[in-house]
Amino acid sequence: MGTTSISPTSIGLSSYASDLQSVISRAVSIASMPLDQLQNQLSIYQSQSSALSSLNQTFSALQTAVQNMASAMGTGSISATSSDSSSVSVSASSQALEGSYTVNVISPGSSSSAISDVSLPAVSDPESSSISTSGSYTLTVNGNTYQITPSGSGLNDLAQAINNSPAGVQASLVNTGNSATPQYRLLLRSQSLGADSIQLNDGTTDLLDTLSTGSAASYTVEGQSTPIQSNSRSVTLAPGVTINLLQQSTNPVTVTISRNTDALSTALSSFVSTYNSAVDALQHQIGQNAGPLSGQSIIQYLTRSLGQLSTYTSSGSGLTSLADLGVELDSQGHLSFDASKLDANSVNAVQAFLGSSTGGGFLTTATNVLNSIEDSTTGSLPTAISSLDNQVQHQNNLIAENQQRIQNLQDSLQSQMASADALLAQLESQKNYITNLFTAMLNYNLNGTGVKST
């Protein structure tokens, strides 16, 4: 009787092969039950992670809308105009209050100047020669003295040393000759307006002649009889309001500071839209057909946070709630915006109610609330997403471990059943051999020698 070489992992040689394969399948199926549970839980985690990421985008958009509101209340909403910009120009910062002012420029003022004496040595090359050979000078401005030490021997070096001093004068060079035979002289001009005295001495000789004696700028505000003197043409007219006195005015100049609400109206409309999107996103996680975050504490926290925004109240600005700006809350938790109510308010009152992202008011509250939600390190949504991502990773690790365990079981059973199948096949082969042998012997006895034929 011959034997057949059988692969230890193959099943299908014996008549019991299908039964043996069923044993493997059933054992693997039973062993896979925990894996199915792990994969179902992973699916839940992944759905929750997707829902949290979507909420994070929604609340990030709401945070941006609040930031845009803060920007709309900044300098972009300020308008500063002058009725005669050739005499008086004006600029205003975000702190400026609305209002109008009348300014009458009596004189824009002038600065004092002095020039080096013509009797001093002629300077044709200011890089190599100067009006004096001294290495040290004394600059006197209105009785105050400053020691001037040039870095080199040229007139340019002397001018640079003066400009680097705190004397409050500007040094420059002027050519009083011609292009062919230049003769550079030192010109000093006071940086402020007024009758300043300026002199430069090289230790033995005064080097400057007075070129012009300046005068302070003079102007009146709101028709006052007593002029205001200024040593600068740029003066502060009111907090956040700066005017420049350019020339004498023939008539009083009206300076107007105003704010427009167009940018704020757009920002409020965007805020209302993104707020309502956040409300809808949370409502999808609540109720009978709730999403994967149903019952999660993060949904309750975010809902309370939205409530802090929509129900904010103030008692110090004349405006008490968002409704005074035209932002109304309905019974379903959604906001609506009526721009006409915003326009009906004083912009200063609106500014006081809204405040800024760090200086109080609604914007500070909204900024703090949304930072607690969206901060990349401590925010509730990034923290929840990170925690869930860790759970997803842990679940994936468990699934991989179980898959390997099941694979090992399947490989082991496959090998064992293949060996059993091979053995059964051998036994069946032996049975068939013996059966065939007995059959042959029986036939021989019946038909062979010793049997009488009829």
pLDDT at 226: 95
Among the residue ranges 46-55, 165-174, 391-400, 414-423, the one predicted with the least confidence is 414-423
Q: What is the DSSP letter of 324?
A: G
Residue type, 177: G
Average pLDDT rounded to a whole number, residues 188-208: 97
Residue type, 379: G
pLDDT tens digits along 263-274: 889 999 999 999
pLDDT tens digits along 115-147: 999 999 989 999 999 999 999 999 999 999 999
pLDDT tens digits along 305-360: 999 999 999 887 689 999 999 999 999 999 999 999 988 887 778 888 998 888 88
Contact 330, 336 (CB under 8 A): yes
Provide the pLDDT confidence category of residue 1 given band limits of 50, 70 and 90.
very low
What is the Cα–Cα distance from 113 to 191, expressed in whole angstroms? Answer: 10
What is the Cα–Cα distance from 48 to 297, expressed in whole angstroms? Answer: 13
pLDDT at 448: 64
Average pLDDT rounded to a whole number, residues 247-264: 90
pLDDT tens digits along 5-21: 333 455 777 888 888 88
pLDDT at 150: 97
Nearest 5 degrees, angle CA 320-CA 321-CA 323? 125
Say if residue 235's pLDDT is above 50. yes
Contact 114, 198 (CB under 8 A): yes
Say if residue 3's pLDDT is above 60. no
Residue 106: closest CA among 204, 229, 193, 236? 229
Residue type, 283: Q
User: pTM (2 decimals)?
Assistant: 0.56
Contact 274, 62 (CB under 8 A): yes
Strands of the 198-201 sheet, one edge to the other: 144-148, 137-141, 198-201
Mean of the per-residue pLDDT values for the chain? 90
Say if residue 218's pLDDT is above 60. yes
pLDDT tens digits along 55-74: 999 999 999 999 999 888 76
pLDDT at 429: 87
pLDDT at 77: 67
Phi, psi of 377 (to 5 degrees): -100, -45
What is the Cα–Cα distance from 402 to 231, expressed in whole angstroms? Answer: 85
Contact 133, 289 (CB under 8 A): no
pLDDT at 131: 97
Among the residue ranges 196-210, 237-251, 292-306, 348-362, the one predicted with the least confidence is 348-362
pLDDT tens digits along 63-113: 999 999 988 876 556 789 999 999 999 999 877 888 899 999 999 999 999
What is the Cα–Cα distance from 309 to 305, expressed in whole angstroms? Answer: 7
Contact 241, 257 (CB under 8 A): yes
